[in-house]
Structure 1
């Protein structure tokens, strides 16, 4: 796959070229500005609007996938994207309808999902998130794999309402259930269920079309990622639309394949580590080879993913 065709695939699938850097560069410490590179790419990335069901739309192109629920209570956004995308995100929101922005839900604390918090709050959104999202944003927080320490977020970007396990909202004739995962991608992940529409936003507990990034610095783990995928399967049906943090909207078939891949790779890498293989030897053994054509060509490379699994078994 050429660089150009790879970029076209990533954009078409909701995985921007800037996010490609998240996987291609983030796992090497001291790689000269991963966060800055992602932000720079988002400054010019196009925002694609996709209608899902009922009054729910999806914005792709500014950080993670942003779900938008419209109606008389004002727009409800799930995730905020990157602030440098504000002009194009504003235009995309206006293209859906004229409903004001009133609510924002963060699926977890990472900058590609919360960097737009401040401007959305200034535009009228109250912010809801898990308590650990606010905790990480309210202090200087380092992600070792990105070789980056995030500064304290401005007060206007911090969630105003936080919770521990579950949080319910009823807005725009829709029942919303926010549910915290035990530590998975991070220790702050939550899912958002749009009850009447049978749509589930799972944040970065699922990367559709790529091996996932796992943030061990803030509580993530391979076992938690596996548990989260299993939990997502348990609360969905064959009719459910499942919105990943990155990649195209999918269903149980794609999510089940992701879950099975995680289980198999974890078992193989754990066996290699138990046998005394070093990380480089584990990578050379190619325990992901059966899945690389599907999951390993786009964001997190097979070697990087093996390293993430090896760290956690």
Structure 2
């Protein structure tokens, strides 16, 4: 076999191999899990699909919690259609980030009434939305049309659902949703299950507010409570307790180093959160967790 023939054979084999790899690569999708009759959690699989979504489906209509990113619209709608053919009546936004409200405009055009904390609407009106091309004004269809300041309730589908504002946690406009009868709580990004949280300091988030938000939800939970985090798998009261313990420890560690006069870079070099390395993930590494807590405490 001459060199040219060998090259052609090798090229052919490589093409077949890469083609097989591409075909075998799992497709990004949302997995719908029924937590109790009529209440579902939609969780991204095989890659990042945005935040976890909640659905309440019943004779009164459909209430949806968050709506992921524009790039996942089709697979999100496919997952929803797998559990209900009804339109979305109410869409609750847990906070302002694009991986949770990215499809607001489409959902509103399809008839959904968007509900959120008043600070979320204010944020969109005054700061707009951030994208690859910079910041631009939020389109009208993206804005919440029903807002609340402290708490509000939904009495639909046999549920007494309570929306609770937790101040200055992940952002300044966070809402958690408590399904009292079903004993299910959707926490949005006030809970990243099994991983470091993102505390958006530029949008009003604080480490103290984050801890208080989790403690508030903990006080509403028992051993049978099912907790939908903003990211990560379905959680329990025990998972939330572990998160609170970690956050309090992290705050104490970084706070002591600040009191000792250490600079931010000094603290990062010390890697004081190494014992929590398993909490690392793509967006919030141990270093970034250290820096955001340092900045927050300073």
Partner of 2:4: none
Answer with 1 or 2: which has the greater Rg: 2
> By how many angstroms is 1:148 displaced?
8.3
- Correspondence list, 1:78-157, <5 A: 78-141=65-128, 149-157=134-142
Partner of 1:240: 225
Partner of 1:49: 32
Does structure 1 conserve the Cα–Cα contact (< 8 Å) formed by 2:129 and 2:137? no
Does structure 2 conserve the Cα–Cα contact (< 8 Å) formed by 1:175 and 1:196? yes
SS of 1:70's equivalent?
strand
> By how many angstroms is 1:292 displaced?
1.5
Cα distance in structure 2, aligned partners of 1:136 and 1:148: 19
Long gaps (5+) in structure 2 = 1-26
Does structure 1 conserve the Cα–Cα contact (< 8 Å) formed by 2:128 and 2:138? no
| CA offsets 1:275-305 (integer angstroms, 9 cap, x no match) | 1111121122222122222x12554110100
> By how many angstroms is 1:238 displaced?
0.8
Partner of 1:22: none
Which structure is higher in RCO with an 8 Å CA cutoff and minimum separation 6?
1
Cα distance in structure 1, aligned partners of 2:156 and 2:87: 13
Cα distance in structure 2, aligned partners of 1:249 and 1:237: 15
Cα distance in structure 2, aligned partners of 1:221 and 1:260: 16
Is it true that 1:279 corresponds to 2:264 in the alignment?
A: yes
SS of 2:177's equivalent?
strand
Cα distance in structure 2, aligned partners of 1:188 and 1:209: 23
Is it true that 1:75 corresponds to 2:58 in the alignment?
A: no
Q: TM-score with structure 2 length normalisation?
A: 0.85
Find 2:235's aligned residue among 243, 250, 264. 250
> By how many angstroms is 1:84 displaced?
2.4
SS of 1:127's equivalent?
strand
Q: TM-score with structure 1 length normalisation?
A: 0.81
Does structure 1 conserve the Cα–Cα contact (< 8 Å) formed by 2:108 and 2:114? yes
Partner of 1:177: 162
Structure 1 segments of 4 or more deviating over 4 A? 146-149
Does structure 1 conserve the Cα–Cα contact (< 8 Å) formed by 2:129 and 2:138? no
Partner of 1:211: 196
How many residues are treated as equivalent by the alignment?
267
- Correspondence list, 1:7-86, <5 A: 45-61=28-44, 62-86=49-73
Partner of 1:32: none
SS of 1:254's equivalent?
helix
> By how many angstroms is 1:236 displaced?
0.7
Cα distance in structure 1, aligned partners of 2:38 and 2:30: 19
RMSD: 1.8
> By how many angstroms is 1:140 displaced?
2.7
Partner of 2:284: 300
Does structure 2 conserve the Cα–Cα contact (< 8 Å) formed by 1:211 and 1:299? no
Does structure 2 conserve the Cα–Cα contact (< 8 Å) formed by 1:72 and 1:99? no
> By how many angstroms is 1:147 displaced?
9.8
Find 1:288's aligned residue among 273, 276, 295. 273
> By how many angstroms is 1:240 displaced?
0.4
SS of 1:60's equivalent?
strand
